[in-house]
Amino acid sequence: MSIAVSAFSRRQATRYGLLAAVFFIATFLILQLYAPLSFNSDYNYNPSSSTKNLHIAVFATSSNYHLCQLQLSAGLLGYPAPILLNYGADEDKDEMKQHLAKIEGAIQYLDSLPASQQDDLVFMLDGFDIWFQLPHSYIVKRYYDVVKRSHQRHISTFGEALVKKHNIRNTVIFGPDKSCAPAGNDHSSCWAIPESWMEPLSFGPDTDHGRAMHNRPRWLNSGTVMGPARELKDVFERALEQNKHRHVTDSDQFYFSHVFGLQSYARRVHKFEDDRARGCDVAADQEFLLPADVDAKKKDIPKIKGERTEYHIGLDWSSDIFQTAGFYADYLTWIRHNSTSLYVQETAKEGNYHHHFSLPTDLIGNGPEPLSDAVDPALADWRNLPLATNTASRTVPPVIHINGKKGYRHLWWPRNWFYPYIEKMLESKRNTLSWDDELPKDMPALAGAWTFNNGQTDWVGFNETCGRWEDALMGKARPPGN
């Protein structure tokens, strides 16, 4: 009898213990869930949010068919004329010098913007493997989405005090890559950088544990970058400094990644030092940041000697702005939402929930051409059009960057929603183009592009660079190299 009683009370004790544990775990989880919501409302974005003040600067020393893919997509979507950086400059045979010239040209351009435009947003991109899918207002809107989400993440990772103290923010946003290149895995730009913020199993059960295609994008791609002019200049200047002192590789991506790696390492060290000062157990962080046996860990530990490390660099981890295609091709598809919704409704009746894509909210109720009866009424609504969609993050990216397999520049071009309409759209838009002898500052991309070379600004008309490719671009002739 007494044995039964004590067994009962032991069971009771276990039950109370479990209840208490559940209570504490639930409280902890709730606190975790709500912590990121304490978004600081006084946070000041600085850069101007007006679409008009988005400068689009394209690295292109000369024109070719692929630059015309970019220019035509910009023209059809109503972009302002882009600025072609280093256009007409002689290409140095030495790749090292080419990368140097690229960075120097960018700094010269950023310097040339007057003080009143130093807070404007500048989007810098490579010219020969990128085109646009959505109007530039989406680039600006998604940029602020990413900046805001990064800030929330910093508050929950570092705490508000550290974020303030070290002015931690991501306002210079680079594209994401699924592999770390060209630095080796021991380099801080490969291991010290933040984790992706995509869902842990975004790419299936092998996510982050096998082939590059299953990696969540976590590494910096320097083909696309966007931020306020003055902050971009700081990053480019630091990258140039790096480039001049260490001729270790001929890729500009390495130099930007290096600045990002250093910044990321420093941010982790700030957190580590703060935790240690508060008496937390930091053994694991210490082993990660400064392992007892560095060689065995194969880590190149950055040495920070009091120089600036915070450059406000962050990535667009889920491709809300920049869709890089390298190792991503299997996770991109073109979805026409008007028919997909019907399909989903039908198949959902049989319990198939797998293909549930909904149009991102910022596209609902809009279309590329609000009053497009002249071309096709379908153009009034994004739902009617096949849109390149990232099936892992389920976003519809405004910018498509075909790094990796360059052949996709030919294969995917006809999949663009505008492809069947190119001729008609050109015709209807060109009727509205007009200007006098003096070129206005806000020329549209369909008229041409500004060029910037060695401090000199000039203008090159659309027909001059792209006239001869027009038939190929609309499928009436064979594109070059295909």
Ligand X SMILES: *[C@@H]1O[C@H](CO)[C@@H](O)[C@H](O)[C@H]1NC(C)=O
- Residue with the shortest CB distance to ligand X: 467
| The only residue of 49, 339, 456, 482 in contact with ligand X, by rule CB under 6 A | 339
Three-class secondary structure of residue 221 per DSSP:
strand
Among 43, 89, 468, 475, binds ligand X (CB under 6 A): 468
Residue 342 engages ligand X in binding (rule: CB under 6 A):
yes
Instruction: Estimate to the nearest angstrom the gap between the alpha carbon of 23 and the chain centroid.
Output: 40
Residue 467, interface with ligand X (CB under 6 A)?
yes
DSSP-derived pairing of the beta strands 322-324 and 399-401:
parallel
Q: Which of 463, 477, 480, 482 binds ligand X (CB under 6 A)?
A: 463
Which range, of 146-154, 290-298, 336-344, 362-370, touches ligand X by CB under 6 A? 336-344
Q: Which two three-digit tokens encode residue 156? A: 């929950």
Residue 135: its H or E element: none
CB of 448 to ligand X, least distance (A): 11
Q: Does residue 6 interact with ligand X by CB under 6 A?
A: no
Nearer to ligand X, 265 or 421 (CB): 421
Q: Which stretch binds ligand X (CB under 6 A): 38-46, 100-108, 332-340, 421-429?
A: 332-340
- The tally of CA atoms less than 13 A away on the side-chain side of residue 360 is 22
CB of 59: closest distance to ligand X in angstroms?
24
Quick check: 338 binds ligand X (CB under 6 A)? yes
Q: What's the closest the beta carbon of residue 56 comes to ligand X, in angstroms?
A: 23
CB of 339 to ligand X, least distance (A): 4
Tell the smallest beta-carbon distance from residue 386 to ligand X (Å): 9
| Gap between the Cα atoms of 419 and 373, Å rounded | 17
- Closer residue to ligand X, CB minimum distance, 179 or 341: 341
**Nearest CB to ligand X, comparing residues 65 and 254:** 65
Nearer to ligand X by Cβ, of 458 and 471: the residue is: 471
Those residues with Cβ within 8 angstroms of residue 376's Cβ, 6 or more apart along the chain or in another chain: 421, 424
Task: Give the Cα-Cα-Cα angle 369, 371, 376 (nearest 5 degrees).
Answer: 75
| 9 makes contact with ligand X (CB under 6 A) | no
Among 378, 422, 449, 474, binds ligand X (CB under 6 A): 378
Long-range contacts of 107-111 (CB under 8 A, 24+ apart): 107/233, 107/236, 107/237, 107/240, 108/452, 108/454, 108/455, 109/57, 109/83, 109/85, 109/452, 110/229, 110/230, 110/232, 110/233, 110/236, 111/233
Interface with ligand X, residue 343, by CB under 6 A: no
- Which range in 95-103, 107-115, 177-185, 462-470 contacts ligand X by CB under 6 A? 462-470
CB 331 within 8 A of CB 211: no
- Give the number of other CB atoms < 10 A from CB of residue 479: 17
Q: Using the minimum distance from each CB to ligand X, give the nearer residue, 22 or 433.
A: 433
Site string for ligand X, 385-414 (x = CB under 6 A): ------------------------------
The contacts of residue 341 (CB under 8 Å, 6+ apart) are: 358, 383
Largest interatomic CA distance in the chain:
106
The dihedral built from the CA positions of residue 468, 469, 472 and 478, taken in this order, carries a sign that is: positive
Stretch that binds ligand X, among 302-310, 338-346, 420-428, 448-456 (CB under 6 A): 338-346
Number of chain positions touching ligand X (CB under 6 A)? 9
Q: Scanning the structure block, which residue is given the tokens 């040209």? A: 105
Site residues, ligand X (CB under 6 A): 336, 338-339, 342, 378, 384, 463, 467-468
